[in-house]
A and B are shown apart, each in its own frame.
Chain A
Amino acid sequence: MTWNTSNNSKASELENKPNPDSVAKAQSIPSLSGDVLLVEDNKVNQHLFTFNIEKTGAKVDLAENGQEGLQKALSNHYDLILMDIEMPLMDGKEVMSSLVQLGINTPVYALTANNMPSDIAEYSVIGFRGTLSKPVELTILYQILGQHLTNCNDKVHNTAQRDKILVQDPKIRAMFYTDLAKQHSEITEYIQELNYSELIKVIHVINGLAGNFGYDELTDLAAESLRFLRNKQYQQAIQHCSSLNQKVAEVLNEYND
């Protein structure tokens, strides 16, 4: 069974109506676990790949363009990356070269309609592990997933989220809270002074590390504050910085209790 990415109506038909072919093939869908990064700008393909990969039990993280794909590949650890070639901002070949230089060893497959032997040879030279020609054959997709993800009968499950470090060491946690108290006073002071450049510096540190101490909410608030500060949308920035600082105070109060 294949899906044709150039025809939206046909693609959604394939997904929504379980035809006899797909029912018959249902038996052959492997049961897998693992994390797949899908780098694809085309909405129909995003949907179809995600739908079919998630049927195996594997998780899909989506990047909508090459730049986002590169950023996600640097931030998380994936078992497999499937990447379109023709994309805005940064194409798949450029992303692949960057991943190679920065030592990302995750297998990456090119998703492309350019399936001339010369194209496939070029992708291989750049560092792609293989090529999945569009329209993609599900049997080949499942074969590749099976090769790189964990079979569910095995006990080891690997997830990108699981790999995130959560600091338990009381000495390091104490350092974090000491710094956080200092950062709280600084944020209060810089909000009063409307010192945006110093706010960026302080909030940047919280944005980077709060997640490793179990405070994802602080990370999210810090990221939003930074976004407004950098876009020079100061009114919203100050509102977000204040919410962040309020949350910081709550975290510190909980710790001191």
Chain B
Amino acid sequence: MSITINILLVDDVEYSRELLRGALLTCVHDHKKDLEANFFHSSTGEDITDTIKYNDIDLVYLDIELPHTSGLKVLKEIRETYPNLMVVMVSGESSIGNVTTSIRDGANGFIVKPFNSGRILETVENYLKRLSKQKS
């Protein structure tokens, strides 16, 4: 049975979003033949819960360094409404402060730029694992 994932990319840098989208598409095509992905994006993280609601988002990749706010604040906002939605933090640096705050506030993953395809694939696999656990 084919699975469709609605993925939200939150990042203000367009080519960074495109890069991640391309890498995710490659993962989806190369490794999971029965998987499809729809992509949505936000450049600012504003009104995040509405974006998630209206687009029925399953998986969020959330950049920490946003222009007017921090992805860590956006994560908190998401968690108030969506405690179980899978959120993967994205950052140019894996500073320990950001990593520990992400863990404390309930992030489910953390990937670092420049992107590594093995790590990105791991996040997709983790999403599918969660999905099969929820179903069983």
Which A residues form the contact surface with B (CB < 8 A)?
67, 70-71, 74-77, 90, 98, 101-105, 158, 160, 163-165, 167, 169, 171-172, 175-176, 179, 201, 204-205, 207-212, 219, 226
Inter-chain contact A163/B117, CB cutoff 8 Å? yes
A residues less than 8 Å from B13 (CB atoms): 179, 205, 209
Pick out which of these stretches binds chain A: B28-36, B43-51, B71-79, B89-97: B89-97
Chain A min CB distance to B128 (Å)? 11
| CB-based contact B99/A70 at 8 Å | yes
Q: Check if A75 sits within 8 Å of B19, measured CB to CB.
A: no
Provided the pairs A160-B118, A211-B114 are in contact, do residues A74 and B99 lie with their beta carbons within 8 angstroms?
Answer: yes
Bound: A211/B123 CA distance, A: 21
Q: Are A179 and B15 in contact (CB under 8 A)?
A: yes
Closest to B113 in A: A208
**Chain B 85-136 residues near chain A, CB threshold 8 A:** 88, 91-94, 96, 99-100, 102-103, 107-119, 122-123, 125-126
- Distance (whole angstroms) from the CB of A126 to the closest CB of chain B: 14
Q: List A contacts of B19 (CB < 8 A).
A: 165, 167, 172, 209, 212
Does residue B23 face the partner (Cβ distance < 8 Å to A)? Answer: yes
Listed by A's residue number, 15 A-B pairs whose Cβ atoms lie within 8 Å are A76-B118, A76-B119, A105-B125, A105-B126, A158-B118, A164-B116, A165-B115, A172-B15, A175-B18, A179-B15, A204-B92, A205-B13, A205-B65, A208-B65, A212-B114
Q: Lowest 4 A-B CB distances belong to which pairs? A: A77-B118, A208-B92, A211-B114, A208-B113
Q: Is B56 an interface residue (CB 8 A)?
A: no
Contact call A98/B99, Cβ cutoff below 8 A: yes
Whether A209 lies near B92 (C-beta < 8 A) is yes
In-complex Cβ contact of B123 among A70, A75, A103, A205 (8 A): A103
B22 sits at the interface (CB 8 A): yes
Q: In this assembly, does B16 line the interface, its C-beta being within 8 Å of a C-beta of chain A?
A: yes
